[in-house]
Amino acid sequence: MKSTRSINIILFGETGVGKSSIVNLIAGHTIAEISADVEACTLESKEYKFNVDMMDLSIWDTVGLAEPELAGNVYIPAIEKACSLIKQLRDAGGVDLLLFCIRGTKLNATMQSNYRLFYEVLCGQQVPIALLITHLEGEEVMEEWWNRNKDNVAKYGIKCAAHACVTGLSDNKGPDGKYEKSKQAVIDLLRQHDGSGRYIMLEEGWLARVIKGLKLFTVGRGGTPKGKNLKKALVKRCGLDSEVAHRIMLTMSTKDKETGSDHAPQESPRKVRRWFFGLWRF
């Protein structure tokens, strides 16, 4: 008898790309409310837990950047949401997989920024990433989109271990419809995950890297809080202990002084094993 595997997934993408529809597609019924994410903050997330095909899935539906850059007044709220997400991921044991939703009709700089924020900054280039190309109900054969556009995706510096071309529109339901084919494509993609190589770091080092990374995406970085003001925000907005906030500030300071090194004590990320058709492309 096959054993049940658990997979922790961050599902992300820009506003309107159809993340909630993907959650419902995978689950096989409506569990995520469809919304435009208009009022949502970058890195705000909601967790969904369910079992599909002998897989216990924990999916964090996470708001990505709405523009290539982050507005200065959103910097602290984004840090607040990052703190909450990282705590949840730590409690869950780490991250197995990134699912990056992109709209098939819209390849742009925002897509590139979201890739960098989640793959490079949040997950330190240590978590496998798969692309879900959405809104392809107009394609006669959805997979043909990839054949035509994979080179354009690569031009944005985006690499992936796997992909699925899908639609989240329930109008295409039926045994031979595009909706069912989309569900099967995503399930097949998840099945190929070998369940090992979960990425995790000590919370303080993880937060320090994300806080610094978010600053790189923020317009008018000179206006973002730093020093005592940033520490105060970490305590007041993120609910961190003052000593923890102080250590995070020290970690960030060390990274500023020592290019390319991190002297703060932290857990080494567990090595990501090769998967998806036996190939890890990074």
**pLDDT score of 35:** 73
**pLDDT score of 241:** 93
**pLDDT score of 266:** 38
**pLDDT score of 173:** 62
**pLDDT score of 193:** 79
**pLDDT score of 194:** 65
> CA-to-CA distance for 212 and 261, rounded, in angstroms?
14
**pLDDT score of 174:** 58
Q: Give residue 62's Cα distance to chain centre.
A: 7
pTM score: 0.87
Three-point CA angle 78, 259, 210, nearest 5°: 15
From the number of C-beta atoms within 10 Å of its C-beta (0-12, 13-18, 19+), residue 217 rates as buried
User: What are the extents of the domains in the chain?
Assistant: 5-191, 203-257
**pLDDT score of 16:** 87
Strand partners, 162: 130
**pLDDT score of 203:** 86
**pLDDT score of 272:** 38
**pLDDT score of 37:** 60
Average pLDDT across each block of 10 residues of the chain; the chain has 282 residues. List them in order: 83 93 96 77 96 95 93 91 95 96 93 96 95 95 96 95 93 75 95 79 91 88 78 92 93 65 38 37 32
**pLDDT score of 275:** 39
**pLDDT score of 221:** 56
**pLDDT score of 260:** 46
Q: Which CATH number applies to 5-191: 1.10.10.10, 3.40.50.1240, 3.40.50.300, 3.40.50.720?
A: 3.40.50.300
